[in-house]
Amino acid sequence: MDKFVITGGNALTGEIPTSGSKNAALPALAAALLTAEPVILKRIPRVRDIRTMQRLLVDIGSLVQVEEETVRLHTPQIVCPEAPYELVKTMRASSLVLGPLVARCGRARVSLPGGCAIGGRPINLHILGLEQLGARIRQSHGYIEAEAPDGLHGATVRFERITVTGTEDLMMAAVMAHGETVLENAAREPEVTDVAELLIKMGARIEGAGTSTIRIQGVERLGGAEHTIIPDRIEAGTFLVAGAITAGDLAITGCNPGHLGALVSKLQQAGSDVTQPTGTTLRIRGAGKLLSVDVTTEEYPGFATDLQAQYMALMTQAEGIAIITETIFENRFMHAQELARMGANIRISGNQAIVAGPHPLTGAGVIASDLRASASLVLAALMARGETVIDRVYHIDRGYEKIEAKLARVGAKIRRVE
């Protein structure tokens, strides 16, 4: 298993380019199943989860051609409408093929995801919604089997809690259903809006994506399309924190500043100087002194749960007490004890982490547990005194494209050890 060896202490300065959004690319790849015509997706990040999804689509029957960051998908017919446990257990987002498969061929057999480091990750709301659209669903041997031999029909689906991939899955299921579907209490994440834009280019009739109520008028069939994925707001946010925690001067280019309002506001309250020199660039100049600022994670446009771990690393260096409240997942503080091993003063109480600072961090051997927890360990290592070795960096490779190259280019002392 690969490791990262990082020697902290360098202020990061220069420009970091943002890759395409992993969490917009995953539903976009699944959406290609909805048509027999070619779909061309650009700015697809070359990360592990994308490769996993591409493998799944090939097994289902798609022809997938990858050229740099452009992926061409062509699914003349569905050969095997299944998402096997071997794949789903490595990537929960595999459940995104559920809606498209039922919509395209009237059936799907998808493994239940099982839990992961950050929580139970059920898909009960995906299943409930599909049943309301007329699918018959059975659960057996760890799989769900969905059938809709006569196609799906429109319905009003009210999510009892906001779910990002649940919204995406049901939107894709509804695009060829008979009649109108209304998704209420839908997720408003930019990734939902992006996949809706792709679906509209394919011929779907969707209104309200990005708001809590999405209306979909079913159409006969969808055609091919070409679409460029939005920039990855979580990658860009991670690098903003890197600029703050190393008191550097970083310009994050090719991002969408509008997607990062909640984080930018917290970084400014904490004393960092964040400006927007262009429509696609955020510049951060680290403050001499950081102040502790509380944060509560919320669905978009609130503070993203995917940036909570990174923010916690920063708060270990802030003056005062910061209370970090995690409201989305039940177990997303795995990084806290690893940060504590580096010298951080963090106390967990229920869904709150109380971070007292500033506490200088020292390099240590640490273990990555999930994608964003790993990112927070990298950030801590960038400013810790001495050398940090992070094990199991395959977690990072799931969602960050060439992170060590991007960081090294702006002055980080980081190398990957096979």
Residues that bind ligand EPZ (CB under 6 A): 23, 26, 92-93, 119-126, 161, 163-166, 191, 305-306, 328-329, 371-372, 399
Position of tokens 């051997």?
A: 365
**Residue 283, amino acid:** R
What is the nearest approach in angstroms of ligand EPZ to the Cβ of residue 40? 21
- Annotated catalytic residue: which of 80, 105, 116, 255? 116
What is the nearest approach in angstroms of ligand EPZ to the Cβ of residue 136? 18
Checking DSSP bridges between strand 345-349 and strand 352-357, what pairing results, if any? Answer: antiparallel
Quick one: 67 or 160, whose CB is closer to ligand EPZ? 160
Q: Where are the alpha helices (DSSP H) in 307-356?
A: 308-315, 334-341
Residue 229 is classified by DSSP as: P
What is the nearest approach in angstroms of ligand EPZ to the Cβ of residue 198? 15
Residue 103: both structure tokens together:
């919509």
Residue 407: both structure tokens together:
């960081």
Quick one: 85 or 285, whose CB is closer to ligand EPZ? 85
Position of tokens 């920039």?
A: 231
What is the nearest approach in angstroms of ligand EPZ to the Cβ of residue 227? 17
Quick one: 20 or 399, whose CB is closer to ligand EPZ? 399
What is the nearest approach in angstroms of ligand EPZ to the Cβ of residue 24? 8
* Catalytic annotation present for 80: no
Strands (E), 234-328: 249-253, 273-278, 281-285, 295-296, 320-325
Residue 10 is classified by DSSP as: P
Quick one: 113 or 203, whose CB is closer to ligand EPZ? 113
Residue 306 is classified by DSSP as: G
Residues 417, 68: Cα–Cα separation, whole Å: 25
Residues 91, 358: Cα–Cα separation, whole Å: 36
Quick one: 124 or 278, whose CB is closer to ligand EPZ? 124
Quick one: 166 or 357, whose CB is closer to ligand EPZ? 166
Residues 171, 199: Cα–Cα separation, whole Å: 9
**Residue 365, amino acid:** G
Residues 144, 136: Cα–Cα separation, whole Å: 10
Residues 320, 355: Cα–Cα separation, whole Å: 8
Q: Which candidate, 179, 284, 209, 277, places its Cα nearest to that of 24?
A: 209
What is the nearest approach in angstroms of ligand EPZ to the Cβ of residue 36? 25
Rg (CA), the chain: 21
Catalytic residue positions, numbered: 116
